[in-house]
Structure 1
Amino acid sequence: MLQTDVEDTSSSSPKQEVEQQEQGNQNGRVGIRQRLKHFTFAWFLSTMSTGGLAIALAETPHQFNGLYYIGLALFFFNIVLFLTLCTCMLTRGILYPAHFKRSFLHPQESFFVGSFWLSISVIIGGIQTYGITYGPGYRWLIDAVYVLYWIYAACSLLNSVGQYWVLMQWSVVRPIPYLTSIFLAGYSAMLTGTIASLIAGTQPPDRAVLVIVSGCAYQGFGWCISLVSIVVFIRNLIGNGPPPPQLRPGMFIPVGACAYTVVALIGQANAIPEYGYFAKHPSAAETLRVVALFVGIFVWLFAFWIFSIAFLCNITVVGKMTFSLTWWALIFPNVGFMLSTEMIGKELESKGILWVASVMTVLLVMMWLVSVVGCARAVWTGGIVREGRDEDKGR
């Protein structure tokens, strides 16, 4: 069994460290070193959402001059933010190795490991969107994205298998509690299918077929995991009621499981080339496009139903919600909801649906700004990244 009770390495003894921490808390001051101890994987929800919003700005139906460059700036900002978070997490692992190791064994934080991989997925999606789809599309960049796709596909699958297995085998909490963050491990593999739908159309035909077939498999894998989790999610809500107010934004996470499936199916179908199997069966591509659209519409209303429940549960406690990092879940899942709406609108050539997607983009921007301000304020006032305030509390 993995050892989970090892003293943190530092220059002071554990007793001195506790005394210093208590004194700092009493004076309202906590050092950066101590705060980094509580820098959890949930922070990567912010890069998931920021990178997702950058893609949403590029894909929103109604554009204006300069919107592309705003999205591009947000894309580069997200890369800087991601590298900063990785640096903080690495520092935490070096300063507090035992505490860091326990983060993989405690469900309250461990489920958020998936957000690290999801942050990488939106960066790859951003490279495709701003560097190829709406950018210069250099050959070397197309090749690079193809390589990144397969690396991410392998890592996301290993993460989805390994993360659930580690908790089943070594979780320090029994029974493992149901948290909405349980979706994220499967989500990380499912987004492989979404990336496939973004990049397949700009790859050479032989590569495109491989990307589409693998992307379909990954999307099905992630969707099946998510569907099982959605059943437990609804059952838990009916049996126990909504979670505490500050955690209710996490209720939007299942929306993305449905919405990104719509995006992947329609996007992959539209990228099918006349090559290999599809050259031998010319009608297959057109048939799959029709099927993908109607399956997407079929799933979209289910996503709207989950969105409505999450929205009502959140709107009733607006004045009671203190900031937590789950607030970032207001954005990333709903980016998928906007993209799925936009894709259905394009396929049906419906101006009304496309306007709905554009309004959704505006609301996403507003929620991102709210989350940025709330997050900065919570860090400044000690509401998060502090003893007993984060996903590592109780350890």
Structure 2
Amino acid sequence: MHGGQANGAFVACGPPGFSALTLITLGDHARTILPARGYIADIAGDVWYSASVLASLLLYGLALFFFIFGLMPYRFSLRRHMNEILGCWALTFPNVGWITTTRSLGDIFQIQGFFTFHLIMTILMCITWLVLFIFTVIAICEGRIFKSRREDVIRDIQAEESEGAPAGKTEDSPMIPSSTHHSEGSSRTVTV
């Protein structure tokens, strides 16, 4: 893996991590909702909760597995180009799911190791977020991202003009008038 692919390896941590957290939360609510309705036995909520916690443990393990294997190629393919900074944001959001699940599992099992691991990973995630934020602002200010060369803009405009009518629009389709009007001599836009 190279460049943005290594950053994208962490995206796989998101679905199992957030699913584990969701199952724990649903199971916790099932303990109060199911007995309150009285449709089934009072123990059904506890059974649902227990099954949710066990399924969450499996998904949590899968998320950790993906995280560990996501670290391996990342170590060897770290690029120091500011124009690839946006791909690095894949390090933050997907990992939040399993890190938050770590705290929930610590609350359930009362194991100090979960709390310690959660604290360490939360601090690392906050540092990662802060570093990425600073580098993204620097990249924007230097014009390395969100800025196109003049030649690229002209080429894109010419390509759009040569394509003709936009996709899905035919000669028989009626023209829909714009709901935005520009007042003459003014740079502001008035929406009707």
Give CA deviations for 1:147-182 in whole Å, capped at 9, x if unaligned. xxxxxxxxxxxxxxxxxxxxxxxxxxxxxxxxxxxx
1:253 matched residue in structure 2: 11
Q: Which has the higher contact order (CA 8 A, sep 6+)?
A: 2
1:368 matched residue in structure 2: 129
1: CA distance, partners of 2:5 / 2:127: 19
Whether 1:386 aligns to 2:144 is no
Unpaired runs of 5+ residues, structure 1, are: 1-241, 389-393
User: Does the 8 Å contact 1:255/1:306 carry over to 2?
Assistant: yes
2: CA distance, partners of 1:327 / 1:360: 17
2: CA distance, partners of 1:270 / 1:316: 41
2: CA distance, partners of 1:253 / 1:350: 28
Aligned residues: 148
1:313 matched residue in structure 2: 73
2: CA distance, partners of 1:247 / 1:367: 18
Alpha-carbon shift at residue 378 of structure 1 (Å): 0.8
2:20 matched residue in structure 1: 262
User: Does the 8 Å contact 1:247/1:327 carry over to 2?
Assistant: no
User: Does the 8 Å contact 2:85/2:132 carry over to 1?
Assistant: no
Alpha-carbon shift at residue 327 of structure 1 (Å): 1.5
Alpha-carbon shift at residue 258 of structure 1 (Å): 0.5
2:99 matched residue in structure 1: 338
Alpha-carbon shift at residue 260 of structure 1 (Å): 0.3
Evaluate the alpha carbon distance shift between residue 271 and residue 291 of structure 1 in structure 2; reply closer, same or farther with a 3 A threshold.
same
Alpha-carbon shift at residue 320 of structure 1 (Å): 3.9
Q: Which letter maps to 1:255?
A: C
Evaluate the alpha carbon distance shift between residue 304 and residue 384 of structure 1 in structure 2; reply closer, same or farther with a 3 A threshold.
same
Alpha-carbon shift at residue 279 of structure 1 (Å): 4.8
2: CA distance, partners of 1:333 / 1:246: 15
Unpaired runs of 5+ residues, structure 2, are: 150-154, 157-192
Give CA deviations for 1:365-388 in whole Å, capped at 9, x if unaligned. 010011101100110111110227
* 3-state secondary structure, aligned to 1:282: coil
2: CA distance, partners of 1:368 / 1:321: 17
1:282 matched residue in structure 2: 42
2: CA distance, partners of 1:327 / 1:319: 10
2: CA distance, partners of 1:327 / 1:369: 12
Evaluate the alpha carbon distance shift between residue 317 and residue 330 of structure 1 in structure 2; reply closer, same or farther with a 3 A threshold.
same
Alpha-carbon shift at residue 314 of structure 1 (Å): 1.2
Identity of aligned residues (%): 20
2: CA distance, partners of 1:297 / 1:282: 24
2: CA distance, partners of 1:316 / 1:343: 33
RMSD: 2.1
List structure 1 runs of 4+ shifted beyond 3 angstroms: 319-323
* 3-state secondary structure, aligned to 1:271: helix
User: Does the 8 Å contact 1:256/1:333 carry over to 2?
Assistant: yes
* 3-state secondary structure, aligned to 2:36: coil
Q: Which letter maps to 1:312?
A: M
Structure in which a larger fraction of residues adopt helix:
1
1:111 matched residue in structure 2: none
1: CA distance, partners of 2:96 / 2:73: 19
Evaluate the alpha carbon distance shift between residue 384 and residue 269 of structure 1 in structure 2; reply closer, same or farther with a 3 A threshold.
same
Q: Which letter maps to 2:131?
A: V
Give CA deviations for 1:135-156 in whole Å, capped at 9, x if unaligned. xxxxxxxxxxxxxxxxxxxxxx
2:111 matched residue in structure 1: 350
User: Does the 8 Å contact 2:14/2:93 carry over to 1?
Assistant: yes
Alpha-carbon shift at residue 361 of structure 1 (Å): 0.5
Whether 1:292 aligns to 2:49 is no
